[in-house]
Amino acid sequence: METYITYSRAKLPEEWEPFLEKIEGCIQCGVCSGSCPSVQMMDITPRQIIHLLRLGREDEALAANTMWFCASCYSCTVRCPMGIEITEVMAVLRNRAIERGIAEPRSLRASRAFVEQITHYGRIFELELLLRAKLAYPLSLMKDLPLGLTLLRKGKINLKPDIVKMPQRLKDSIAKRL
């Protein structure tokens, strides 16, 4: 007797609606995982995340560290033969983890600082970003202080931010995701 798997839309919240048709069409080829530059740091692969979502097992997908290591490079999305926007799926997973309070605090802090800087300066201000990250972990700051001073001395880190005027539609896009 053959066994069939039934994919369940009912178990996934409405945030997944734009992705459901394509997720259900995933052929599990693994091109996404093979294309991912961060896959070795992930506890489960992007292919496995898509499979969990196909099964309606969002909680298991949210428990993985995969979305936190996604570099948002779009290699998986560009190469997916079924046109699944895997990078966007990872963004939805990150947002869902934050909403449900299961985000890794360090990752969440870094993500917020990154978005705040993009919104404020139009780009990243490395010195502020590094200081914000390191001040949360003072021992780490002390350990990396010699390297930071070397980078400053060699002009690799600017003391003042370069400010880039952002187009309004980019600001609106960022505001929607916050």
| Residues 112-154: tens digit of each pLDDT | 787 788 878 888 888 888 787 777 777 777 888 888 889 889 9
What pLDDT band is residue 3 in, cutting at 50, 70 and 90? low
115 and 169 housed in the same domain: yes
Tell me whether residue 71 is in a domain: yes
CB distance 156 to 113 below 8 Å: no
Tell me whether residue 129 is in a domain: yes
User: Pick the residue with more confidence: 9 or 87?
Assistant: 87
**Domain stop point among 56, 77, 99:** 99
CA distance 94 to 102: 9
14 and 40 housed in the same domain: yes
**Domain stop point among 67, 99, 131:** 99
Tell me whether residue 2 is in a domain: no
Which residue in 102, 126, 98, 100 sits closest to 112, CA to CA? 98
CB distance 51 to 74 below 8 Å: no
95 and 161 housed in the same domain: no
Token pair listed for 78: 């560009």
Cβ neighbour number for residue 107 with a 10 Å cutoff: 16
Tell me whether residue 3 is in a domain: no
Tell me whether residue 127 is in a domain: yes
Token pair listed for 46: 């992007």
34 and 91 housed in the same domain: yes
19 and 89 housed in the same domain: yes
73 and 130 housed in the same domain: no
pLDDT higher than threshold 60 for residue 8? no
What is the count of structural domains for the chain?
A: 2
93 and 25 housed in the same domain: yes
Domain that holds residue 135: 105-177
Structure confidence at residue 173 (pLDDT): 72
User: Pick the residue with more confidence: 128 or 177?
Assistant: 128
User: Pick the residue with more confidence: 75 or 107?
Assistant: 75
Average pLDDT in the 161-166 region? 80
User: Pick the residue with more confidence: 128 or 5?
Assistant: 128
**Domain stop point among 52, 71, 99:** 99
Cβ neighbour number for residue 91 with a 10 Å cutoff: 15
pTM over 0.85: no
116 and 173 housed in the same domain: yes
82 and 144 housed in the same domain: no
Tell me whether residue 4 is in a domain: no
63 and 131 housed in the same domain: no
64 and 110 housed in the same domain: no
* Tens digit of each residue's pLDDT (9 = 90 or more) over 14-61: 888 888 888 989 999 999 999 999 899 899 999 999 999 998 899 999
